[in-house]
C-alpha cells in the first residue's frame, strides 16, 4: 500500500492499478503493464506522466477541460466553499447561494428561452433526467401516451441504462439488456461514411427527413421528443451537411414534439459560441450539459429547460426525481469560478473570432497526408478520416475497422500527443486557450504519427 504523499515507482503503481482498479470502456484481458500510463500533473494544454513525459492533450481530457489545466483559482473557490458549506441538499424547501448564483448565470448564457435548471453530476444522469422530464411534461399536458424519444444511430448520450439506450451505439446496447422501451433511433448525418454517391446537402436533407418519417410511422401522438448532439462527438466528430439542421428545425416546429440539444460537448465555448445551439440556431426546448460546465475540475451536470416545459412538468404534481448531489455546492462553486474565468479571459469569443480559424487552417494541412481522406473542423472539434487510398479520392474504408485508428492513436501517444480513435477516425478537441504555436505542435505531432501509421500499414501489407 502507498499513499499520495509518497508515490512508489511507475511499475509498482501500474502493478497496483492492475491488481485492484477496473477501468471504464476497457478490455481488461488485453490490458497489460506496458499499456498503462500514469498521469501525475498537468498545466495549460499539457499533461505530464510519471516518467517525465510531457503530452499535448488534444482531447482536453474527455472533451471537458475547456479552460485548460492548472487553474489554481478553481481550487481556491472550491476550498472556500468546503470551509463555508461542504454539502447541503436542495430537496425539501432548502437552497444555497452557489446553486442560486449558478442557475442565474446559466439563464444568461444559455440559448434564448432556456430559463430553469435542474442539476446532477454527469452527462449521463442529465440525459436520464431529460427522458423523465420529457415524458412527465406530456403527462402534465394531458398526453401521457407521448413517451417515445427519437434519437440517432451512433449518437452518444451517456453510459447509464437510460442514457446508453438513448445513445445509438450497438456495441453498448449489446451488453446489459438495452435499450429500455420507447427509444427509437434514426440515421445519422454522416456523409463521409454513409453518403454514397449523393451530394452532401441532398444526403443531409434525406437524413433530416427520417425524423419526419419516424414521427409519421410511430404516430405524432406517441412521440415525446427528439434528442441530438449539435455535432456528434464520441461517434466521431460528425459534422452534418449544412442542409441538415434547418430541415430538422422545420420538422420540430411543424410537429408537436420537444427538441432536446445534448450540449455536453458543444456547450461552453467548444464551437466558438456559449452553446452549439446558438451557432446552429437550434432553439431547443431542453439542453443537457456537463463536461465544460466545470471544465472537469469537479463532476457536475444539468438540464436547462424552457418555462413551457417547466410548467408542463409541474402540472403533473411533484416531479419525483432528484439526486443527493443535485446542485452540489462545491461543484457549483467550481462551475461559477470556471464561468468567471471564461468570461474574464473572453475565451468563447477568442475561439469564435480567432482560434477556430487558425485551427481550421492548420488542421486542414493534415488532409494532404496520403492516409487522410478528409480533415475537417468545426469550432475546436477536429477529425481525420483514415482510408487506404485517399489519393484517388475514394472514401472506401480499411478492411478491419478500428485497427488502423488504434495504431494511429498509439503512435500519437508515443509522439506525446493525445488524439482519440473512433473506429478509423482520429478526433481532436483541445482546451479552448490553446495557443497558435501549440496548434502547430499538435499538427506536427499528428503528421509524424500518420507517417508512422502509414509505414506500419505498409509493413503489414508487405
Ligand X SMILES: *Cc1c(COP(=O)(O)O)cnc(C)c1O
Binding residues vs ligand X (CB under 6 A): 63, 122-124, 127, 156-159, 229, 233-234, 262, 264-265, 290, 301
C-beta of 229: minimal distance to ligand X in Å?
Answer: 5
Give the nearer residue to ligand X in terms of CB position, either 266 or 449: 266
Q: Which three cell numbers stand for residue 5?
A: 504523499
Beta strands in 295-445 (DSSP E): 301-306, 372-378, 381-386, 417-418, 420-422, 425-428
Rg (Cα) of the chain, in Å, rounded?
A: 22
Closer Cβ to ligand X, 267 or 352, answer by number: 267
Nearer to ligand X, 229 or 424 (CB): 229
Q: What are phi and psi of 318, to 5 degrees?
A: -60, 130
Minimum gap (Å) between residue 62 Cβ and ligand X: 6
Sequence-separated contacts (24+) of 346-352 with Cβ below 8 Å: 347/66, 347/67, 347/269, 347/432, 347/433, 348/268, 348/269, 348/272, 348/273, 348/274, 348/432, 350/432, 350/433, 351/269, 351/270, 351/271, 351/272, 351/379, 351/380, 351/432, 352/272, 352/273, 352/379
Residue nearest to ligand X (CB): 123
Phi/psi of residue 387, each to 5°?
-140, 155
In the complex with ligand X, which residue's Cβ is closer, 89 or 159?
159
Cα separation, 370 vs 356, whole angstroms: 24
Nearer to ligand X by Cβ, of 111 and 123: the residue is 123
Give 301 or 312: the residue with its C-beta nearer to ligand X. Answer: 301
Laid out side by side, the sheet with 258-262 consists of 114-120, 301-306, 286-289, 258-262, 223-228, 148-152, 183-186
Q: How far is the CB of 258 from ligand X (least distance, A)?
A: 17
Give the nearer residue to ligand X in terms of CB position, either 81 or 124: 124
At closest approach, how far in Å is the CB of 237 from ligand X?
A: 11
Give the number of other Cβ atoms within 10 Å of residue 360's Cβ.
Answer: 16
- Residue 52 has what DSSP assignment? S
CB of 233 to ligand X, least distance (A): 5
Instruction: Specify the residue, 282 or 366, whose C-beta has the smaller distance to ligand X.
Output: 282
Least Å from the CB of residue 132 to ligand X: 16
- 167 grid coordinates: 445513445
User: CB–CB of 213/174 below 8 Å?
Assistant: no
- Vertex 194, ends 226 and 235: CA angle to 5°? 55
Distance, first Cα to last Cα, the chain: 48
By beta-carbon proximity to ligand X, the closer residue of 173 and 222 is 173
Q: Give the shortest CB-444-to-ligand X separation in angstroms.
A: 28
Total count of residues recorded for the chain = 462
> Sheet holding 39-43: strands in order across?
39-43, 46-49, 54-57, 417-418
**Is 45:32 a contact under the CB 8 Å cutoff?**
no
Quick one: 232 or 415, whose CB is closer to ligand X? 232
To ligand X, the closest distance from the beta carbon of 126 in angstroms equals 7
**Nearest approach, Cβ of residue 33 and ligand X (Å):** 27
Q: Is residue 366 within 8 Å of residue 386, measured between CB atoms?
A: no
Cβ closest to ligand X, residue 140 vs residue 235: 235
3-state secondary structure of 375: strand
Rounded to a whole number of angstroms, the minimum distance from the CB of residue 158 to ligand X is 4
Closest to 45 measured CA to CA, from 452, 440, 447: 440
Q: How far is the CB of 161 from ligand X (least distance, A)?
A: 12
Amino acid at each position: 500500500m502507498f499513499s499520495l504523499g509518497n508515490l512508489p515507482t511507475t511499475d509498482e503503481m501500474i502493478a497496483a492499478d492492475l491488481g485492484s482498479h477496473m477501468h471504464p470502456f476497457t478490455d481488461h484481458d488485453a490490458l497489460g503493464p506496458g499499456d498503462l500510463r500514469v498521469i501525475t500533473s498537468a498545466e495549460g494544454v499539457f499533461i505530464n506522466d510519471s516518467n517525465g513525459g510531457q503530452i499535448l492533450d488534444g482531447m482536453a481530457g474527455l472533451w471537458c477541460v475547456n479552460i485548460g489545466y492548472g487553474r489554481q483559482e478553481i481550487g481556491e473557490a472550491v476550498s472556500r466553499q468546503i470551509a463555508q458549506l461542504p454539502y447541503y441538499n436542495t430537496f425539501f424547501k432548502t437552497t444555497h447561494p452557489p446553486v442560486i448564483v449558478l442557475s442565474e448565470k446559466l439563464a444568461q448564457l444559455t440559448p434564448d428561452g432556456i430559463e430553469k435548471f435542474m442539476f446532477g453530476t454527469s452527462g449521463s444522469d442529465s440525459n436520464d433526467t431529460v427522458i423523465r422530464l420529457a415524458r412527465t411534461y406530456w403527462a402534465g399536458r394531458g398526453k401521457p401516451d407521448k413517451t417515445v424519444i427519437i434519437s440517432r444511430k451512433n449518437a452518444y448520450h451517456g453510459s447509464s441504462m437510460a442514457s446508453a439506450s438513448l445513445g445509438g451505439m450497438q456495441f453498448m446496447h449489446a451488453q446489459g439488456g438495452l435499450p429500455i422501451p420507447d427509444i427509437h433511433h434514426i440515421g445519422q448525418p454522416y456523409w463521409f461514411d454513409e453518403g454514397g454517391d449523393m451530394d452532401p446537402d441532398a444526403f443531409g436533407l434525406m437524413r433530416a427527413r427520417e425524423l419526419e418519417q419516424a414521427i409519421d410511422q410511430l404516430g405524432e401522438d406517441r412521440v415525446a421528443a427528439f434528442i441530438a448532439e449539435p455535432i456528434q462527438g464520441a461517434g466521431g466528430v460528425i459534422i452534418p451537411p449544412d442542409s441538415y439542421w434547418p430541415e430538422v428545425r422545420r420538422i420540430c416546429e411543424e410537429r408537436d414534439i420537444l427538441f432536446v440539444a445534448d450540449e455536453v460537448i458543444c456547450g461552453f465555448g467548444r464551437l466558438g459560441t456559449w452553446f452549439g445551439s446558438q451557432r446552429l440556431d437550434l432553439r431547443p426546448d431542453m439542453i443537457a450539459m456537463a463536461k465544460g460546465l466545470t471544465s472537469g475540475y469537479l463532476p457536475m451536470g444539468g438540464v436547462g429547460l424552457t418555462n413551457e416545459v417547466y410548467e408542463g412538468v409541474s402540472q403533473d404534481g411533484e416531479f419525483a426525481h432528484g439526486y443527493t448531489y443535485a446542485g452540489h455546492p462545491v461543484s457549483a462553486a467550481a462551475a461559477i469560478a470556471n464561468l468567471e474565468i471564461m468570461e474574464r479571459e473572453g475565451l468563447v469569443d477568442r475561439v469564435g473570432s480567432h482560434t477556430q480559424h487558425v485551427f481550421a487552417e492548420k488542421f486542414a494541412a493534415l488532409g494532404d497526408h496520403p492516409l487522410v481522406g478528409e480533415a475537417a473542423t468545426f469550432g475546436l472539434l477536429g477529425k481525420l478520416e483514415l482510408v487506404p487510398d485517399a489519393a484517388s479520392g475514394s472514401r472506401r474504408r480499411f478492411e478491419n475497422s478500428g485497427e488502423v485508428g488504434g495504431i494511429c492513436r498509439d503512435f500519437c501517444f508515443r509522439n506525446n500527443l493525445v488524439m482519440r480513435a473512433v473506429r478509423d477516425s482520429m478526433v481532436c478537441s483541445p482546451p479552448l486557450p490553446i495557443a497558435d504555436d501549440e496548434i502547430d505542435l499538435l499538427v506536427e505531432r499528428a503528421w509524424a504519427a500518420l507517417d508512422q501509421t502509414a509505414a506500419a500499414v505498409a509493413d503489414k501489407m508487405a
